[in-house]
Structure 1
Amino acid sequence: MRAARMSAPHTFEYFEMDTPVPAEGEILLKVQQVSVCGSDTHMFYDQVLPEEMYPSRPGSPCHEIAGTVVETRVEGIDVGQRAIVLSSFRNPDALGGLVEYINIPGNMVMPVPDDRGLDEWLMCQPMGTVLFATKLWGPTAGLRIGIVGQGAIGLSFTNLAAAQGAAQVIGIDILDYRLEKSKQMGASDTINPDNVDPLEAIAELTGGRGLDVVVDASGDPEGLNQAISYVNQYGKVLGFSLISMNAVVPFKHMAWMGKVATLIPCSSISSPDPTGDINEVIALMDKGWIDPSRLITHHMTFDDVPQAFEMYSKQQDGIIKAVMAVNGGD
């Protein structure tokens, strides 16, 4: 089968490898749609990693994957079932998603309905990780929430916070095209810190009431400090950004102490049930209550993997989410 992997910084290579054989408790998925996550660029594509980490494991970096089950050794999962799957980046032997076929443990398979395209259902994966995080700030109704960064993850926070009844949702980003999308996804207000003083803007937009919760979804090493500066005293700051694993970031300790703010790190893959919230989003989308597919801005092919990563890294052409069809898509 055909596969891709990183062979050097900012460089992908395609190669042929054997199609995997599913072990007991696994399924074999024909991959049909994959997408780029911000963590793929922040932690891998944009980094100069140690020489021994090149080439990367086959199919990586990529963990947003959807397709159709073509072989199964899992009771209750049938051949022909369409699904989103999670591949473990912690397992050095696990394939990433940039492959034509992938073997996946049954507990990491999330079936999706037969209507709509797999590209649309795939967007339930990133929004599911965000749903997990929103539960950590407690009941949403009545809160004033700011989200730093309006990429796909930040926009998912914006969408879910608005849908859950937040009194006010403010999208914060330095890219105007993202702020336009933020309004479409439910933001009551937006702020571009390059154009206005963000603290003054927050005070004006909230009538002096400020922000009860601030999410750092910026992917910027300085994002956590910014979020602390924006939040109310005794407020909550959720850290969702993934940056370089070797980054050492100065932390404004006394600013945090002065706010007496609660810091909450979010990592759904480390939760006891990493698929649970994604399944919830699939069910909500099936009912028509939310539509994560609105995040998609670009449709591409498996041959376009290098271009998709470069566009995401450089934030080109108004990109929010690029979905790449594999094996002809669906």
Structure 2
Amino acid sequence: MLTADMYAPGKIRLIDVPEPVLDPTPPAGMSGQIIFQPETTCLCGSDLPYFNGWDEWPIEQGHSLHEMIGTITATNGKRWRVGERVLAVPLMQQGLSERFVLDENRAIRIATNVPEEQALMAQPLGTAIYALKKLPNMLDRDVAIVGQGPMGQLMNAALSNMGARRVIGIDLIESRLQVSRKMGATDTVCNSKVDAVDAVKEILGGDLPDVVVECVGHKDQQLNLCIDLCKRDSQLLCFGVPPQFLNGLRWRDLFFKNVTVYTSVNPDFHRDFPLAMRWIEEGRIDVAPIITHTYPLAKLQEAFELFRDRKDGAIKVIVNFPSRKAQ
């Protein structure tokens, strides 16, 4: 069986490892386990620190992949049957293997009335829904979303669906902003060409947004820009995964604006991911515009490089495992 080995910064290969085996009975405190076989998967920005070289947590075999649909090949629990196809989320993003053991509660049913690549988007969309539930009522509010990668685009769609008056997408890359309007943004700002704060004020008639969402994270995080975009008594949602330490963060500016800060991680498998799947299934959100590229597992290195370098208009990059051919 193949699994991923990120053996050097920016380098990934597939190596042979033994097949996973279930215990005859579930571990104490767990209702059951499954052996999950990924088939349709996609890359996420939170996979890139592992690919680029990560010094805060150990990089292990199977890093890094966590958005996937596939088949249950074995179980010692009662929730699923062998052969059922589900969306699953591995622990610690160690899902870049042909098969792995997983708690049966970390899987949900998949919509069957949309292409599988679209149903797969319920995983990232579920993380957006979980985060947005923390904010006040969004009806008639002006929102700026800094970062128009996959998560920023899903934030556009979700906030538009929740009734925001203006959804302003901000990004350095013009090609991403061309997708933003398809995903619910009412306005876009390319801050590699103009000053983002001035542009947003012009859009809002001299005002600043009620809510600002940071969707960049990691070493490229844009919290200082978000602080500049916040008006007094506004809300800031820090969605992008941050580095351990934020050097140069202008926290005092945030403090004196009296901004309420929200953070978000670890959605609920019983509510957030199923709700996201339902939104896609019912057509409330069209995720098709963000799916831009597809690669076979054999071209995993190329897929990661394209996604990391944001080439060719890449937003969501699908990686298909060999097992998908058997469907």
> What TM-score, normalized to structure 1?
0.91
The corresponding residue for 2:294 is: 299
- Please state if 1:261 is matched with 2:223: no
Question: Match for 1:311 among 306, 309, 313?
Answer: 306
Equivalent residue runs for 1:283-298 within 5 Å: 283-298=278-293
The corresponding residue for 2:22 is: 22
Q: Any conservation in 2 of the 1:39–1:242 contact (CA below 8 Å)?
A: yes
The corresponding residue for 1:185 is: 183
The corresponding residue for 1:203 is: 201
Q: What amino acid sits opposite 1:229 in the alignment?
A: D
Q: Distance in 1 between matches of 2:235 and 2:194?
A: 24
The corresponding residue for 2:148 is: 150
- Unpaired runs of 5+ residues, structure 2, are 27-31
Q: What amino acid sits opposite 2:291 in the alignment?
A: I
Q: Could you tell me how far 1:221 is from its partner in structure 2?
A: 4.2
- Please state if 1:47 is matched with 2:53: yes
The corresponding residue for 2:73 is: 70
Q: What amino acid sits opposite 1:187 in the alignment?
A: A
SS in 1 for 2:155: helix
Check 1:65–1:161 CA distance in 2 against 1; reply closer, same or farther (3 A cut).
same
Q: Any conservation in 2 of the 1:34–1:98 contact (CA below 8 Å)?
A: no
Q: What amino acid sits opposite 1:239 in the alignment?
A: C
Question: Match for 1:32 among 27, 31, 39?
Answer: 39
Q: Any conservation in 1 of the 2:183–2:287 contact (CA below 8 Å)?
A: no
Q: Which moved more, 1:285-294 or 1:14-23?
A: 285-294
The corresponding residue for 2:29 is: none
Q: Could you tell me how far 1:286 is from its partner in structure 2?
A: 1.5
Check 1:248–1:204 CA distance in 2 against 1; reply closer, same or farther (3 A cut).
closer
SS in 1 for 2:46: helix
Number of equivalences: 317
Identical columns (%): 28
Q: Could you tell me how far 1:251 is from its partner in structure 2?
A: 1.4
The corresponding residue for 1:327 is: 322
SS in 1 for 2:232: strand
The corresponding residue for 1:81 is: 84
Q: Any conservation in 1 of the 2:114–2:281 contact (CA below 8 Å)?
A: no
Q: Any conservation in 1 of the 2:146–2:216 contact (CA below 8 Å)?
A: yes
Q: What amino acid sits opposite 2:55 in the alignment?
A: L
SS in 2 for 1:22: coil
SS in 1 for 2:131: helix
Q: What amino acid sits opposite 1:122 in the alignment?
A: L
Q: Could you tell me how far 1:81 is from its partner in structure 2?
A: 1.6
The corresponding residue for 1:279 is: 274
SS in 2 for 1:313: helix
Q: Which moved more, 1:105-114 or 1:315-324?
A: 105-114
Q: Distance in 2 between matches of 1:14 and 1:100?
A: 10
Q: Could you tell me how far 1:171 is from its partner in structure 2?
A: 0.1
Q: Distance in 2 between matches of 1:253 and 1:287?
A: 41
Q: Any conservation in 2 of the 1:82–1:114 contact (CA below 8 Å)?
A: no
Q: Any conservation in 2 of the 1:124–1:292 contact (CA below 8 Å)?
A: no
Q: Could you tell me how far 1:328 is from its partner in structure 2?
A: 4.0
Question: Match for 1:116 among 111, 114, 130?
Answer: 114
Q: Any conservation in 1 of the 2:181–2:187 contact (CA below 8 Å)?
A: yes
Q: Could you tell me how far 1:209 is from its partner in structure 2?
A: 3.1
The corresponding residue for 2:224 is: 225
Check 1:58–1:156 CA distance in 2 against 1; reply closer, same or farther (3 A cut).
same
Q: Distance in 1 between matches of 2:39 and 2:223?
A: 36
Q: Distance in 1 between matches of 2:111 and 2:196?
A: 43
CA RMSD of aligned residues (A): 1.8
Q: What amino acid sits opposite 1:141 in the alignment?
A: L
Deviations 1:233-257, CA, capped at 9 Å, x for gaps: 1000111112444x44221122112
> What TM-score, normalized to structure 2?
0.91
Q: Which moved more, 1:226-235 or 1:286-295?
A: 286-295
Q: Any conservation in 2 of the 1:147–1:157 contact (CA below 8 Å)?
A: yes
Q: Distance in 2 between matches of 1:275 and 1:298?
A: 30
SS in 1 for 2:322: coil
